[in-house]
Amino acid sequence: MNAEQLRQLERVLGYTFKNPSYLQEALTHSSVAGDPLNSNERMEFLGDSVMGLIICRSLYDRFPTYREGDLTKIKSMLVSRKTCAQLANDLGLSDHLRVGKGTDKCRALNGSIAAGCLEAVIAAIYLDGGLDAAEAFILRQFEPLIEQTNAEQHQNNFKSVLQQYCQKVFNRTPVYELLDEKGPDHNKCFEIGVVVDHRRFSSAWGVTKKDAEQLAARNALIELNVIAAEDYCV
C-alpha cells in the first residue's frame, strides 16, 4: 500500500495511524504471508474481543431494562460474520487486503475473510490509538445497526416492548393474569389480561398462555397509543 492509498483508507476509516505498520499487518491475509504469524490472524483474535467488549458495553448502557437473553440476541446479530463482512465491504477493506493467488477470486473474500479483516482493522486501531480510538471507530460503524437490529429483534415481541415502556413511563412492571380457559386438556384456549399500575387493559385469547400474553400486551400498547392497531394486524 502506497502513501496515497494509506491516506485514502484512513479517510474512509476516520482514523489516522501513528504507526501504519499496524494497518499493513491487518490487511495481510495468511494466504500471502507465508508465516501465519506475519498475517492478520492474531489481530483478528484481538479485534474480535475488543469489538465484543465495546458492543456489549453499548448495549448495556443503551438498554437498561433488557435482560441478559435480550442483550445476547442483539449482540449475536451485530457481531455475526455476515454483519462484519457487510461492514468490511461497505468500507472497501477487501480492495486493500493482500491475499494469495486464487484467494482473490474466492467467495470467502466477501464473507469470512472480509469479516476477519474488519476485526483485524479494529485491533490495529486499538493497538495504535488505544481503547477510545477503537470505541469511536466501532460505534461509528455499528450505531446505525444497533437500533435496526433491536427493532427487528423486538418487532412483534409485544411483551418486551410493553415492559420497557411501562418501566420507563410508570416505573412499573406489567402483571399478566389468567382470566379464563376453555376446552379439553389437549386443546385448551386461554384468556389473559394485563394490569399496569392498577389499570386493566383489554384481555386476549390464545392457544397457549404465551400467545395470549403477547396479544394482551399488544392490546395494552394500542390502548396506550404506543403502537397503531393497523400496523400490527393479527
- The answer to which of 122-126, 152-156, 163-167, 185-189 has the lowest mean pLDDT is 152-156
Residue with cell 384456549: 189
169 in the same domain as 127: no
Last residue of a domain, one of 153, 186, 201: 153
25 in the same domain as 104: yes
Q: Is the pLDDT of residue 211 over 60?
A: yes
171 in the same domain as 118: no
pLDDT digits (tens, 9 = 90+) for 72-116: 888 998 999 999 999 999 999 988 888 877 665 555 567 888 999
Measured CA to CA, the distance from residue 190 to residue 74 in angstroms comes to: 31
Measured CA to CA, the distance from residue 128 to residue 122 in angstroms comes to: 10
Strand partners, 176: 194
pLDDT digits (tens, 9 = 90+) for 128-153: 999 999 999 999 999 989 878 776 66
Measured CA to CA, the distance from residue 73 to residue 84 in angstroms comes to: 16
Per the structure, the count of domains in the chain is 2
194 in the same domain as 138: no
Q: Residue 173: its pLDDT value, please? A: 93
Q: Residue 148: its pLDDT value, please? A: 80
171 in the same domain as 147: no
| Dihedral angle over CA of 207, 210, 216, 220, nearest 10 | -160
Instruction: Select from 104, 93, 106, 110 the least CA-distant residue to 27.
Output: 93
Task: Judge whether 30 and 39 are in contact, CB under 8 Å.
Answer: yes
pLDDT digits (tens, 9 = 90+) for 15-69: 999 999 999 999 998 887 777 788 899 999 999 999 999 999 999 998 887 888 8
Q: Residue 8: its pLDDT value, please? A: 92
170 in the same domain as 68: no
Q: Give the structural domain span for 213.
A: 158-231
**CB-based contacts of 37, cutoff 8 Å, min separation 6:** none
Distance of CA 131 to the CA centre of its chain: 20
118 in the same domain as 178: no
So which residues are the catalytic ones? 48, 119
Measured CA to CA, the distance from residue 44 to residue 67 in angstroms comes to: 29
> CA dist 214 to 6, 19, 191, 201, 209, Å?
52, 54, 11, 13, 9
Measured CA to CA, the distance from residue 59 to residue 146 in angstroms comes to: 8
